[in-house]
Amino acid sequence: MLGAGLPGSTITAVGRVADFERALQEGQDAVLTLPLVLEAQGLKPALKGMARGSAEEKYALVGTGAPPEPNRVAAVGALDLLGRDGTTRFVKRLVGAQAHVERVNKIEDLLPLLQMQLVNAVLLPSRLVADLRAASRLTLAVHELETTVGLPAVASTGPGGAAVMNAIAKMPKDVSKLLGVDEWR
């Protein structure tokens, strides 16, 4: 859908940190990802995603049974955004230093961690909790965290970056919504 929403642009989607870093080295005109990923690569967002007037969104811990208490979870499943060390620091910043972090490459891989009882809770944007519930027969309980995380943003990394950012800013609303974004600024 992102490719259809950005006609004339070549889209490269990656699911692993190493693939993202390799794509940056090969040369891209722009990158679209979370601000914390941009920051880890030394990039500054030039275009920010906004939702309900904010460039930040809430995250939630989702477990089974009772809502998970951040300072009591022993193991947390999370999307691998920054590699082993970076993702661990990110998760511990949100839920506490005691948590062991199980990393996955895709959002849909978080639910099996709960189903197989490999973690006490999974960490994800609050906007995705309904999708997780719809995909599971487990009784899921949610604890929304106070700390917020930046919504997707874009950094220019090559000569065509301005054109790509212009296309993203004009992307169809339904495509932006998939990224949790109402508008781009």
Residue spans per domain, the chain: 2-53+151-184, 57-149
Query: What integer best gives the mean pLDDT of the chain?
Result: 90
**Cβ pair 169, 46 in contact under 8 A:** no
How far is the CA of 112 from the CAs of 27, 32, 43, in angstroms? 35, 27, 33
pLDDT higher than threshold 90 for residue 127:
yes
- Give the model confidence (pLDDT) of 100-120 as tens digits: 999 998 889 999 999 999 999
- Give the model confidence (pLDDT) of 158-185 as tens digits: 888 898 898 899 988 988 998 899 999 9
> In the chain, what percentage of residues exceed pLDDT 70?
100
pLDDT higher than threshold 90 for residue 4:
no
Higher pLDDT, 10 or 146: 146
Distance, CA of 43 to CA of 41 (rounded, Å): 6
Which residues make Cβ contacts (< 8 Å) with residue 56, sequence separation at least 6? 148, 149, 150, 151
pLDDT at 90: 94
Mean pLDDT over residues 37-49, rounded? 93
**Cβ pair 105, 112 in contact under 8 A:** no
pLDDT at 23: 85
Distance, CA of 50 to CA of 12 (rounded, Å): 23
pLDDT higher than threshold 80 for residue 3:
no
Please tell us whether the domain made up of 57-149 is placed in CATH 3.40.190.10: yes
Q: In the numeric block, which tokens belong to residue 120?
A: 């006490």
| 14: confidence class by pLDDT, cuts 50, 70, 90 | confident
Mean pLDDT over residues 24-36, rounded? 89
| 155: confidence class by pLDDT, cuts 50, 70, 90 | very high
